Structure 1
Amino acid sequence: MAYDLEEQEQLDSIKAWWNKYGNLITWVLIIALGGFAAWNGWKTYQRKQAAQASVLYEEVQKAATAKDSAKVLRAAGDLKDKFGGTAYAQMGALSAAKVAFESNDLKTAKAQLEWVVKQGKDEEYRSVAKIRLAGILLDEKAYDEGLKLLAGDFSPAFAADVADRRGDILVAQNKLEEARTAYRTALEKMDEKNPGRQLVQLKLDAIGGTGTKSAA
């Protein structure tokens, strides 16, 4: 059926518009679809990485339970090498540090914790690593280094643990007044039901401190 004049004008307008903008629209669609495909591919890759990393982390946990230090370190090393950007790598390094510490291998424990502090993506795991590493530095009598590590930014959830560890280092330095302040701060920041309160209070009492008043 023949088009009438009005329909023909509309078709001509559409053709002219397409000739002017058609290539641009086509490229925009190609880029948008390509970006969507890339995003889906990246999410799939991440899920695959996480699944593979979780299997390795299970090996770390099983080896830790069996107290097989060599296997723990090997699996934790694989996690860092192959899946260093995942939370499992940080968790594996923390587990390896714990096993090494319990085996009195402070050098290895320190190396594992330092990796989490420097390479960890998750602030929570990095905070745990800093506090534990400060404890090793205390054992090594590297007091200033330990205090410097604890002087960084921590989320409020770790305020009590940081203050407690600071108090331990200050006691070792015989800076008892500063240690009292740290322990009091730890008690103030600690939940009333936290079983660790009793130990902090005992340490505070041992250096002549009383009460839980903050010195802030």
Structure 2
Amino acid sequence: MEVYSNENEQVDALKGFFAQNGKALAIGVIIGIGALAGWRYWSSHQDTSSREVSATYQQVSGALDASKPETLTAAAKFADSNSNTYGALASLDVAKRYVDNNELDKAAAQLQSGLKATKDANLQAVLNLRLARIQLQQKQPDAVLKTLDAIKGDGWTAIIADVRGEALLSKGDSKGAREAWSKGIASNASPALKEMLQMKMNNLPG
């Protein structure tokens, strides 16, 4: 059993934030640069570009269908050509469809590409968590642990503990798994996630 709700909520919140604040973000980048005339021209240009990128992202994301390879190709192309938050979000969307098709190597590569496209810590955390789960499916526990170490922020403690425990258990480290899940239970996690971690601890040998 896996819990994705916290990650999905973060992704939805990030999408909403950039949809509503694209103009403000564009303006903030160049405060203090250039004369008033240059500022007005640049602001107008960036605002238009941001809206266009956002609209294109919404289009390719909405059209994604794992049974239609051409929609995956279009979304992957958009992600590769946009080294920004929208490109990273597209990488998340494409990776999910690759997982649905059991193309784990492609999914992992897409997530790694998305990590290079954004500096937003929360979005990076979601990308890394998805990547760690895929690496777990690929039976690469050491890679999982390295990926989890790159995630910053106390809000991810319980979810990280969940995946870390699974990776350690797959290495035969029951003690390490117990310690990881105990840390997750002690964190500010949701009751459902704490209950799941407790069940996993209860099923450990010894």
TM class by smaller structure? 0.7 to 0.9
Q: Structure 1 CA distance, aligned partners of 2:203 and 2:96?
A: 28
8 Å Cα contact 1:100-1:106 kept in structure 2: yes
Q: Structure 2 CA distance, aligned partners of 1:33 and 1:203?
A: 55
Q: Structure 2 CA distance, aligned partners of 1:135 and 1:203?
A: 17
| Greater RCO (CA < 8 Å, at least 6 residues apart) | 2
Q: Structure 1 CA distance, aligned partners of 2:72 and 2:33?
A: 44
The alpha carbon displacement at 1:49 in A equals 2.3
Relative distance call for 1:76 and 1:171 in structure 2 (3 A) is: same
8 Å Cα contact 2:158-2:193 kept in structure 1: no
Counterpart of 1:121 in 2: which secondary structure? coil
The alpha carbon displacement at 1:196 in A equals 2.8
Among 142, 154, 157, the residue aligned to 2:155: 157
Relative distance call for 1:119 and 1:33 in structure 2 (3 A) is: closer
8 Å Cα contact 2:184-2:197 kept in structure 1: yes
CA RMSD after TM alignment? 2.4
Matched to 2:83, the amino acid is G
8 Å Cα contact 2:98-2:106 kept in structure 1: yes
Q: Aligned pair 1:108/2:106, yes or no? A: yes
The alpha carbon displacement at 1:114 in A equals 0.4
Relative distance call for 1:64 and 1:198 in structure 2 (3 A) is: farther
Larger radius of gyration: 1
Consecutive unaligned residues of structure 1, counting only runs of 5 or more, are: 1-31, 210-216
Q: Structure 2 CA distance, aligned partners of 1:112 and 1:208?
A: 37
Percent of paired sites with the same residue: 27
Q: Structure 1 CA distance, aligned partners of 2:140 and 2:122?
A: 24
The alpha carbon displacement at 1:143 in A equals 1.6
What is aligned with 1:203?
200
Relative distance call for 1:192 and 1:114 in structure 2 (3 A) is: closer
Matched to 1:38, the amino acid is G
8 Å Cα contact 1:60-1:95 kept in structure 2: no
Q: Structure 1 CA distance, aligned partners of 2:69 and 2:188?
A: 33
Q: Aligned pair 1:35/2:35, yes or no? A: yes
Consecutive unaligned residues of structure 2, counting only runs of 5 or more, are: 1-31
Q: Structure 2 CA distance, aligned partners of 1:77 and 1:207?
A: 44
The alpha carbon displacement at 1:158 in A equals 1.3
The alpha carbon displacement at 1:115 in A equals 0.9
The alpha carbon displacement at 1:33 in A equals 9.4
The alpha carbon displacement at 1:207 in A equals 1.0
Matched to 2:199, the amino acid is L
- The size of the alignment, in residue pairs, is 175
What is aligned with 2:47?
47
Counterpart of 2:64 in 1: which secondary structure? helix
Relative distance call for 1:33 and 1:106 in structure 2 (3 A) is: closer
What is aligned with 2:83?
84
- Between 53-62 and 120-129, the greater mean CA deviation after superposition: 53-62
Q: What is the TM-score normalised by the length of structure 2?
A: 0.74
Q: What is the TM-score normalised by the length of structure 1?
A: 0.71
Relative distance call for 1:33 and 1:51 in structure 2 (3 A) is: closer
8 Å Cα contact 1:166-1:182 kept in structure 2: yes
